[in-house]
Amino acid sequence: MREPFQTQTKAIKWSKKILRWKEDLLHLVYPSSCLCCEKELTIGMRNICDICDANIRYTYFENFSEHSTLDKLFWGRCNLTSTCAFLHFEQDSSTQQILHAIKYRGKKDLAAELGARFGERLAQNQSKFGSIEVLIPVPLHPKKKFIRGYNQSEYIAIGIAKSTQATVNTTFLTKGVHTESQTKKANRFLRWDNVSDVFHLDISELNGVKHIALVDDVVTTGSTLESCIQKIQKVLPDIQITVLSLAIAK
């Protein structure tokens, strides 16, 4: 027998109330803190407090109809489908604090949280970013990853994936694993010239994939990304490549 509509609505209202009480109670027992400044969050805040959030400078590149500074950075260097950066990086800003925390203070959760917020923005522009199938974090050298314990770009990508259709792949593009050919090169300049070769590809990982996005934490000169992109396009000339960076230092 079906319950009357009013009874159903009452039941939904009560279950929502109970859920809210449960969340509030949990907050009292285990108060969560801001992932940036570590001050206690009040109820309703999502991982970052209002003060830190107000100090973040967003680029809004995802809504640009004209070319962004990130697009222009790669002009004449790489053939890209699209680019986007979420934050403006400035010295002595909260974005600098955030990036520092992500990179050097073990704040993997903050990287994933900002990645998720970035992904929410990207999801609003389906015509530009909706066809991205695989997110590829710019790899760290294994030694660096071992010391840091994680690759911050990987966590940014995990966050982006939460809000988009794309999946994360960390085995297609790797760094510095097969360095034998480099160390054998006696000439210092030849070795330097070979820097673009420190990235390695496993193309079997991208069978049938048409559009990938390289994910980075902060773009300054873009030379690391340029090396990755050139390497990928040499082997997969038809693949579409988008650059997604949490921040841009421009």
Binding site for Zn ion (CB under 5 A): 34, 36-37, 49, 52
Q: How far is the CB of 178 from Zn ion (least distance, A)?
A: 42
15 versus 33: smaller Cβ distance to Zn ion: 33
Q: How far is the CB of 46 from Zn ion (least distance, A)?
A: 12
**What is the phi/psi pair of residue 23, to 5°?**
-60, -45
Q: How far is the CB of 110 from Zn ion (least distance, A)?
A: 10
Q: How far is the CB of 22 from Zn ion (least distance, A)?
A: 25
Q: Check: CB of residue 164 under 8 Å from CB of residue 129.
A: yes
50 versus 193: smaller Cβ distance to Zn ion: 50
37 versus 236: smaller Cβ distance to Zn ion: 37
Q: How far is the CB of 125 from Zn ion (least distance, A)?
A: 28
101 versus 209: smaller Cβ distance to Zn ion: 101
Residues forming beta bridges with residue 244, ordered by sequence position: 84, 215
Euclidean distance between the first and final Cα of the chain, in Å? 64
What are the DSSP calls for 46-71, one per residue?
Answer: -SS-HHHHHH--B--GGG-SS--HHH
52 versus 215: smaller Cβ distance to Zn ion: 52
Residue 130 in tokens: 């909706």
Cα 28 from Cα 162, distance rounded (Å):
28
Cα 28 from Cα 68, distance rounded (Å):
44
Counts of helices then strands in the chain (DSSP H, E): 11, 7
Q: Which residues contact 154 (CB under 8 A, 6 or more apart)?
A: 137, 168, 170
44 versus 149: smaller Cβ distance to Zn ion: 44
Q: How far is the CB of 219 from Zn ion (least distance, A)?
A: 25
